[in-house]
Amino acid sequence: MSSSYRWVIVGAGALMTCVALGTMFSLAIFQVPIAADTGWSHAGIAAAMTLNFLVMGLGAFAWGAAGDRFGVRIVVVIGALLLGLALVLASRAASLLQFQLTYGILVGLAASAFFAPMIAATTAWFEKGRSLAVSLVSAGMGVAPMTVSPFARYLISTYDWRFAMLLIGIMAWVLLIPAALLVKRAPDPSEETGENGQMAEQSLPLGRIFRSPQFLVLGATFFACCAAHSGPIFHMVSYATICGVGPMAAVSIYSVEGLAGLGGRLFYGTLADGLGVKPVLIAGLLVQAIALATYLRVSELGQFYALAVVFGSAYGGVMPLYAVLAREYFGPRVIGTVFGAASMLSSIGMAAGPLIGGWIFDSFGNYSWLFIGSSMVGLGAAAIALAFPPMQRLRLQAA
């Protein structure tokens, strides 16, 4: 497909993932001002983020399936309307329960309407350079901490948290609705216009897809990858502080990881287009596992920065590659459903890491076992990825 409109899809997707995921993760910026103003517990406010992850997992599968059935445009338009509404309602919440329901559930449900559907839509627009295109859409997630979070901090400092959240909700409508209306369905690839190939993909049962070795390896690798890095990412600032790094400098380590993740998406995506997705994914998972183990040996700020570049680029770089694998194994007709299901498994892995890391610190008084365990899980992810079948489209077996 040579249509230049595919780059409009990439730009719209990057903007939508940036705004949607940025607003969700900005809860870390709102937590202290909300607690100071309302008296709600930090744990109760943070519980909204746990709900975000859980709802995002289910939402990714549901929205992905809806995108396959009804088209991605209607999905992201609904997501845009819902995200703005959720933030507006959360800014008016009179109780902690109301806040958890609006921010925790509605924001999570709305945010999940963008990532998997737009990644799926992008894979359909590209035959060449697909890995890089998907990485560019995913890069919106890396830009979010450098845009939405500082803007939220400015609004809170200038006004208050309620006005800040209200304005961000309104701006979500202003930015996301026009971007969502730009989304169009990709033309069918010429290689899949034949009657037999089209019939095979249309009639391939989802039950067979989800039982196939391709999906089982994909879902297990995605889950283990996210379970490996989520705990260390969440507890990195705390770990650096324990090692003697100052609080503000410790926060900057997290920022370096995010910036490195942005570069890693572009680097690994370009490599995957040239060398193939599977070997690049396995290499990235191995780099991630080694970096996690290396955190046991760092203690100075410069060492943290250097390792953050390696770790951030690795976990950021491999994330978009799962969608490319799903597209190559299962084709464009069910990519939203398949990648949504895989994203649901990854969200479970993401939700588990911070909880397990907190339990480890409470039990042992340090994070050593977190990094050891995470590195082992990361090696397990690379080992699972070795089991990926040859890159051949799954098709309906002849009767």
Query: In this structure, which amino acid lies at residue 266?
Result: L
Answer yes or no: do 163 and 246 share one domain: no
Looking up tokens 């391709």, which residue turns up? 214
pTM across the whole model? 0.77
92-101: pLDDT as tens digits: 999 999 999 9
Radius of gyration of the chain measured on its C-alpha atoms: 21
Q: What are the tokens at 191? A: 């290689």
Centroid of chain to Cα 145: 13
| Proportion of the chain above pLDDT 90, given as a percent | 40
Answer yes or no: do 328 and 272 share one domain: yes
Answer yes or no: do 180 and 215 share one domain: no
Residue 88 lies in a domain: yes
Answer yes or no: do 177 and 303 share one domain: no
Answer yes or no: do 171 and 309 share one domain: no
Secondary structure class of 3 (helix, strand, coil): coil
Residue 379 pLDDT: 97
Q: Which of 47-56, 142-151, 223-232 has the lowest mean pLDDT?
A: 142-151
pLDDT level of residue 228 (50, 70, 90 thresholds): very high
Instruction: Decide which of 184, 199, 232 is a domain's last residue.
Output: 184
Answer yes or no: do 215 and 354 share one domain: yes
2-38: pLDDT as tens digits: 478 889 999 999 999 999 988 887 887 787 788 889 9
Range of the domain at 381: 207-385
Residue 231 lies in a domain: yes
Phi, psi of 350 (to 5 degrees): -65, -40
Contact 266, 352 (CB under 8 A): no
Rounded to whole angstroms, how far apart are CA atoms 383 and 396?
28
Q: What is the CATH number of the domain that holds 173?
A: 1.20.1250.20
150-159: pLDDT as tens digits: 888 889 889 9
Does residue 121 surpass a pLDDT of 50? yes
Residue 391 lies in a domain: no
Does residue 191 surpass a pLDDT of 50? no
Does residue 185 surpass a pLDDT of 80? yes
Residue 393 pLDDT: 66
Domain count, the chain: 2
Residue 188 pLDDT: 66
Rounded to whole angstroms, how far apart are CA atoms 375 and 111?
29
Residue 257 pLDDT: 84
Looking up tokens 């410069």, which residue turns up? 302
Does residue 203 surpass a pLDDT of 70? no
Answer yes or no: do 171 and 258 share one domain: no
Q: What are the tokens at 239? A: 């770990």
Residue 346 lies in a domain: yes
Residue 254 lies in a domain: yes
Phi, psi of 2 (to 5 degrees): -110, 0
Contact 79, 56 (CB under 8 A): no
Residue 283 lies in a domain: yes
Answer yes or no: do 242 and 134 share one domain: no
Answer yes or no: do 157 and 280 share one domain: no
255-287: pLDDT as tens digits: 788 788 888 888 998 899 889 899 999 999 999
